Amino acid sequence: MNDLLNMAFWSLVMIFPAFVANSVPVLAKGKHPIDFGRNLWDGNRILGDGKTFEGLAAGLVAGTAVGAVAGHPLPSFLLALGALVGDMSGAFIKRRLGIARGRPAPILDQIDFVVGAIVFVYPVMPFSLEQAIFLVVVTPPIHLVANVGAYLLKLKPHPW
């Protein structure tokens, strides 16, 4: 039991810069979309107005800084970048499926960033299969609680 709790604790500590990077962009209130307002062949935006250069920069800086304080700047940078790219990939998929910005896509919305973070950091800080599975399982409820909190604080228009 101690080994399982230890693995769970350290997995959450290791992924924390990604959680920070994924949550900070909403605070940036960006005005400059990464996709420059362009649509693809399907007539839908590439990413949408919610993915901005300001949010990308804020998430990258905040996620990297959190881990750099602990003495791990490179893994933290990769976790933050992976989380943000994963989240943008989720937005790209949602737009291709015709899901409007701000509308929920269960599972995709909750794990895209954590999968991106794990993939990007793997070359320098590999997560075990057990850690990856644990994080994919626990991230959705953590994400839901964070989103409800952001909604109650009026940082997000919807609690998802």
**Where would I find the H helices in 97-128?**
108-121
Chain segment 9-34, per-residue pLDDT in tens: 999 999 999 999 999 999 999 999 99
Chain segment 57-104, per-residue pLDDT in tens: 999 999 999 999 989 999 999 999 999 999 999 999 999 999 988 888
Residues in the chain: 160
- Please give the structure tokens belonging to residue 79: 């976790």
Q: How far is CA 114 from CA 33, 37, 137, 160, in A?
A: 22, 26, 11, 17
Q: What is the pTM of this model?
A: 0.93
- Please give the structure tokens belonging to residue 46: 């590439």
Q: What is the dihedral of CA 160, 66, 118, 131, to 10 degrees?
A: -90
Is 121:76 a contact under the CB 8 Å cutoff? no
